[in-house]
Structure 1
Amino acid sequence: MSAFDEWVRSFWPAAMPVKRSEQALSCLGAGLGLLFTAWLCGYTQGLDNPWLIAPMGASAVLLFAVPASPLAQPWSILGGNTLSALVGVACATWLGHSAPVAALAGGLAIAAMFSLRCLHPPGGAVALTAVLAGPEVSDLGFYFALYPVALNASGLLLLGLLFNNALRRRYPHRPVEHANAHGTRDAIPRDRLGFTPEDLDAVLEARGELLDISRDDLEEILQQTELRAYRRRFGEIRCEDIMSRDVLSVLPDASLADAMAQLAEHRLGALPVIDEDNRLQGMLYLHDLLTVDLDDAALSVRSQMRRQVSTCRADWPITYLVDTLSDGLEHKVPVVDEDRHLLGIITQSDLVAALFRVSLETYSVRS
């Protein structure tokens, strides 16, 4: 294939790895957002034909189709559109309504959005609209930035917040914190080998261009890719292969003194709490008992156990436990079935031993 053919083929878009259900929800959200925005503008202004400016369609694409994008966050939508309107009106007021002025307004709007960290592609269209839309816009002057632009953006954003959160999308798209759970300055264990956050920051700085993905999302994608590559190289060891099946446990109504005695006798740091049907109710941790009066008859295991605990299934690959057992405060993960019956438990030692065994076998094969 010639270089020209390769160049022509490069114009063909790559496939989008987006589920059809997500595509349908994006279309539905954008339609509802624009409809709500039009109603809000008409209701607040008492107009039969409210202004719904065209750039809001582009904002709807970002807000509902790619809500994780840094360009689709609340400040980008509200600040980017409003700021660009102010820039466009200022250029039109002082320099007139012409194509060169519109081009200048678009460039200045981008510079302003970069400066205030609210880059939003539809903002460029808003700036051009302020210059070229005609007498209806020019008669409004700087009020154009308030209505319809800011009101349009606010209505769209309000519906976006409700819609995305109802679908359990993380919006606003906040970065996932990976601070050391013990409060020390050391990096979390996962970041001490392989690529580090500093490596990623250095690469991004060397590229020097804006990527339409947050740094934290990019880091998470790379880490998940590493885990998949590890499973491909070393095989699929399941949680049921390494879990302890003869698990010591305690009932919710047991006394704290009895639970403490069991922890001390077996030198354990935690005990699963189960009901009479062997269903997991929570975990009782030794360090949670250090400041409790164990002789208080009114206190039971139920009063001190943690109900929200990480669990896993027997058929899950053990690589799913790496983050939980290495980066957090939990050192044991109960293994449960779909009805939360306790099947076993996996400790940090179990995971380390399994990974060490796999490493030895891999080294032996290569040798």
Structure 2
Amino acid sequence: MSGRLLTLSRRLFGWLPRTIQTRPGEWLRAATGVGVAVACTFWLSDLLYGNNTAMILLGPAGASAVLLFVVSSGALAQPWPVLGSYLLAGVIGIAALHLPLPPLPLSWLLVGAVASVVLGMSLLRCLHPPACALVLVVVLAGDLLRPLGGWLLLPVMLNACCLLFCATLYNNLTGVRYPKQMPRADLHHTRDILPGQRVGFTEEDLDRALDQFGSFVDITRHDLEQIIRDTESSALRRKMGDIRAEQIMSRDIRTVGPDTTVMQAIRIFRHHHVKTLPVVDSEGVVQGITSLGDLLAQLDLPMGRMLPTRINLWRDQPLHKVMTTPVVTVDGQTHVVDMIPLMSNQGLHCLPVLDNGQLVGLVTQTDVIAALHRDLVSHLA
């Protein structure tokens, strides 16, 4: 008897709300975005198609706004699901109102319409739940919307486009990247995957896991991969102990000024056997960074009689014209696990270490390799 009560209590507790992983500031940001988007959508639809049409179509638009602003990273909230599902729901709704169908009870018509939308969204990979509400609203308000005929598709798509415009503008202005699809960097223009993805799980492993899971996952594939890799980094940071930038950085570093010439920089490169030089002003503030690659990139000279003159001009160029800016920097408390992807995936050879805006050190790839080797030896011991 006690076992049954325990099972029942666990099931009842499953209905309780889960812990929310967002902050109150994010709640306010999302709520403001939803309100603004719904107001703009209603105003524009009312202006172009009248108050009745705007009010009928507002309910599904409000549901879409919640997805676009509250869970904008989800797969259901991306542009194609919104556009594709609204277009599909509009077409099916118009067909239900105007095609010569046999006399059917309203309930059967509603079931057929919403089932068709779900099947169509699954086939077109544009799953967006408010589209089901949209087709139901269209069928239920048939007497009011039937006079629009096929033109009903215009206010439907107007709502979708207006919501997407508001979501793209507002989310990006408030620090939330939308849409979430992000291109992969290809620094070397080769078919190799990024160094950080050559160990651990691969894209094929992720695809296989999603196939085995079977059910729909309301998160973009990129975000799912990022969550897993962040989890791996957190576990690695815990296992590696406290290796910070200030512990492994070089402190006696060579710097150059913005007006240092290319030839002067080359002499420093050769004398100190370094590959990068921070460019700082008279107050020690980092203005940029220059590397041998930056200098070679400027030496794109055509063959011809003017070649010696062009080389001499290149030698006298000040570094502020060829340096890389802005510079990716870290502070002294940055963990080595956080520095590794900056160097491996972004192709950075070194990371300037700043303290209150002043350059205090430089972490190179050699420093990171030495720290990893020391950590490996300590674990083996």
Give your verdict on TM over 0.5: yes
Task: Give the alignment partner of residue 82 of structure 2, picking from 77, 80, 86.
Answer: 77
Q: Deviation string for 1:162-220 (max 9, x for gaps)? A: 211111211111225154x2222223221222122221111112222220001110111
For the residue of structure 2 that corresponds to 1:350, the secondary structure is: helix
1:25-53 deviations in Å (ceiling 9; x for gaps): 11111111111111111222465984343
Give 2:21's aligned residue: 17
Unpaired runs of at least 5, structure 1: none
2:247 aligns with: 241
Question: How much is the aligned-residue C-alpha RMSD, in angstroms?
Answer: 1.9
Residue pairs, 1:323-338, within 5 angstroms: 323-338=341-356
Structure 2 partner of 1:345: 362
Q: Deviation digits for residues 298-349 of structure 1, max 9, x if unmatched? A: 511111111122111111111111111112221111111232x111111111
The whole-number CA distance in structure 2 between the counterparts of 1:82 and 1:316 is 48
The answer to whether the 8 Å contact 1:92/1:101 transfers is no
> Could you say if the C-alpha distance between residues 97 and 267 of structure 1 is closer, same or farther in structure 2, counting changes exceeding 3 Å?
farther
1:55-204 equivalences in 2 (<5 Å)? 55-94=60-99, 95=101, 98-147=106-155, 149-179=156-186, 181-204=187-210
What is the distance in 1 between the residues matched to 2:135 and 2:164? 19
**Aligned residues of 1:283 and 1:309 also touching (Cα < 8 A):** yes
Identical pairs, percent: 35
Change in Cα spacing, 1:74 to 1:236, as seen in structure 2 (3 Å) is same
Question: CA–CA distance in 1 between the matches of 2:165 and 2:237?
Answer: 42
Match of 1:316 in 2: 334
CA distance in 1, matches of 2:26, 2:94: 37
Change (3 A) 1:12 1:176: farther
Answer with 130-139 or 98-107: which moved more.
Answer: 130-139
Count of residues paired in the alignment:
361
Partners of 2:289 and 2:278 in 1: how far apart?
Answer: 5
Contact 1:82–1:146, Cα closer than 8 Å, also in 2: no
In the alignment, what sits opposite 1:222? 228
Distance in 1, Cα, partners of 2:375 & 2:189: 32
**CA distance 1:120–1:8, shift in 2 (3 Å):** same
Q: Is the 8 A contact 2:288 2:323 kept in 1?
A: yes
Distance 1:22 1:97 in 2: 45
User: How many Å apart are 1:70 and its aligned residue?
Assistant: 1.5
| Correspondence for 2:256 | 250
8 A Cα contact 2:37 2:167, kept in partner: yes
Higher mean Cα deviation, 351-360 or 294-303?
294-303
Q: Please state if 1:295 is matched with 2:312.
A: yes
Counterpart of 1:35?
39
Taking the aligned partners of 1:305 and 1:26, their CA distance within structure 2 comes to 40
SS at match of 2:330: coil
Q: Could you tell me which amino acid in structure 2 is paired with residue 121 of structure 1?
A: P
Is 1:274 equivalent to 2:286 in the alignment? no
One-letter code aligned to 2:335: P
CA distance in 2, matches of 1:28, 1:328: 35
Aligned to 1:3: 7
Q: Considering fraction of residues, name the structure with more helix.
A: 2
Give the match's secondary structure for 2:362.
strand
- What is the alpha-carbon distance in structure 2 between the residues aligned to residue 162 and residue 193 of structure 1? 37
**How far, CA to CA, are the matches of 1:203 and 1:161 in structure 2?**
31
**CA distance in 1 between partners of 2:191 and 2:353 (Å):** 32
**Secondary structure in structure 2 of the residue aligned to 1:336:** strand
- Supply the distance in 2 between the matched residues of 1:220 and 1:47 (Cα, whole angstroms): 44
Secondary structure at the aligned position of 1:251 is classed as: coil
Match of 2:372 among 343, 355, 362: 355
Q: 2:324 aligns with which of 306, 314, 323?
A: 306
Residues 281/47 of structure 1: CA separation in 2 closer, same or farther (3 Å cut): same
For 1:333 and 1:125, the matched residues in 2 are separated by 52
Q: For 2:366 and 2:72, how far apart are their aligned partners in 1? A: 40
Using the alignment, how far apart are the partners of 2:12 and 2:290 within structure 1? 63
